[in-house]
Amino acid sequence: MNRAGLIGFAILSIFFLMAVAPWIFAPYDPYIRFTPYAEPGTDHILGTNDMGHDILSELIYSARASLFVGFVAAILATLLGVIIGIIAGYYRGWIEDLLMGVTDIFLMIPKIPMIIIIAAFLGSGIWVLILVFGAFSWTAIARIARSKVLQIRESGFVLSARCLGFSNRFIMAREIAPNLTHIVFPKFMLLAASAMITEASISFIGLGDPSMKSWGVMLSFAFTKGGLLNGMWWWYIPPGIAISVCVMAIALIGYSREKGADIGVRG
C-alpha cells in the first residue's frame, strides 16, 4: 500500500472505531436532551440541534449507520457480482450470454431514482436501502470479474485442476475466485463509498429512517429544522465533512490497491 492508501486506512480505522465504540469518543449520549439550538461552546463543542441533542455526539454515533450501510451494501453487491461474473466467464456459451444480458439491463437502470421509487412503496428503512443498492450495483463487478475469469480459465493451473479431477464448483471457488481479489477489492471499496453517499442522499431527501442516526439524517434535519436558514453552520457542515472524509478515505484505499491490480495472474 502506498502513502495515500495508508492515510486512507488510518482515517477509516478511526471511523471504524467510532462505529464500534462511539462512547469512547462522544462526550454525551446522543439522545440526552439539552437546551435546543445552543451555539458551540465549552459544554457542547458543536452546539445542539432542534431536539437539544449534542451534535458532536450525534456525529460520532452516526458513523455506525453510515459505515454499516456502506459496507453491507458493498459486500452484497460484490458477492452477487463475483458469483455472476465467475459463472458467466467459466461456463461461457448461452449461460454467459444470458447473465451478461441481464447485467446490461441492470446497468441501464438508474440506481437512486430506483431506490426512491422502491422506498416510496416499501417504506423507508436501512435494509431496503441496502438490498436495493446491492441488487442494482453488482453490474460493474460482474463485468470485470467475467473478463478476468475468461483470462484465468485458460491459464495452466485451471487446466491442471481439471486434469487432477476437481469439480467445476471447486475450481470456481478455490482456484479462480481468490485470483480475482486484487481486481475486485478496489471496486468493492468504491462501491462502499458510493453506497455511503447514496445513503446520505436518500436520507437527505427524507426517505431515510428518521429514528436512526446517520450523517444523511443529520443533514436532512439541519435543513428541515431551520439550521441552514439560521446560519447554524456547526449543525450542517460537520456531517458533510464527515461523509466527505470517510468517502475519501475509502476511495484512497481503493485507488491505492487499483495501482497494483495489473500484477497478478498472467495468461
Partner 1 sequence: MSRLLDIKNLSVSFVSGEETVRAVTDVSFDLCEDEVLTLVGETGCGKSIIAHAISGLLPPEALVSGEIRYKEKDLQSIPEEERVLLRGCEIGIVLQNPSRALNPLYTIGHQIRETILRHTEKSKEESHGMVAGALRRMGFSDPGIEMKRYPFESSGGMNQRFVIASSTILSPDLLIADEPTTGLDRSRIQDVITEFERIMEEEEMAIILITHDLAVARRLADRIGIMYAGEVVEMGDANRIFEEPYHPYTKGLFGSLPENGCVPIPGVSPPMSRIVSGCRFHPRCGKRTAVCERDHPQLGMIDDRYVRCHLCHSQ
Considering only 3, 93, 110, 262, the residue that binds partner 1 (CB under 8 A) is 93
Q: Quote the CA–CA distance of 34 and 14 in Å, as a whole number.
A: 27
Our finding on whether 166 is near partner 1 (CB under 8 A) is yes
Q: Residue 157 carries which side chain, given as an amino acid letter?
A: F
Residue 55: strand, helix, or coil: helix
The answer to whether the beta carbons of residues 219 and 206 sit under 8 Å apart is no
Query: What is the per-residue binding string for partner 1 in 141-160, x denoting contact by CB under 8 A?
Result: --------------xxx-xx
CB 138 within 8 A of CB 81: yes
Number of residues lying near partner 1 (CB under 8 A):
21
Residue 20 to residue 10: CA distance in whole angstroms: 15
Q: Which residues make Cβ contacts (< 8 Å) with residue 80, sequence separation at least 6? A: 134, 135, 138, 141, 142
Quick one: 31 or 157, whose CB is closer to partner 1? 157
Asked whether position 165 contacts partner 1 by CB under 8 A, the answer is yes
Does residue 98 belong to the site contacting partner 1 (CB under 8 A)?
no
Of the candidate residues 147, 162, 258, 261, the single one contacting partner 1 (CB under 8 A): 162
Largest Cα separation within the chain, whole Å, is 73
Considering the complex, what minimum distance in angstroms separates the CB of residue 163 from partner 1?
A: 4
Q: How near is the Cβ of 138 to partner 1 at its closest, in Å?
A: 24
Q: Which of residues 176-215 bind partner 1 (CB under 8 A)?
A: 178-179
Which triple of cell numbers denotes residue 133? Answer: 443498492
Is position 175 an interface residue for partner 1 (rule: CB under 8 A)?
A: yes
Query: What contacts 11, CB < 8 A, 6 or more positions away?
Result: 245, 246, 248, 249, 252
The one among 24, 108, 164, 229 contacting partner 1 by CB under 8 A: 164
- Rounded to a whole number of angstroms, the minimum distance from the CB of residue 104 to partner 1 is 25
Min separation Cβ 99 and partner 1, Å? 18
CA angle (94, 172, 131) in 5-degree steps:
80
Q: Which of 3, 110, 113, 163 binds partner 1 (CB under 8 A)?
A: 163
Q: 215 and 247 in contact (C-beta within 8 Å)?
A: no
Site of interaction with partner 1 (CB under 8 A): 93, 155-157, 159-167, 170, 174-175, 178-179, 264-265, 267
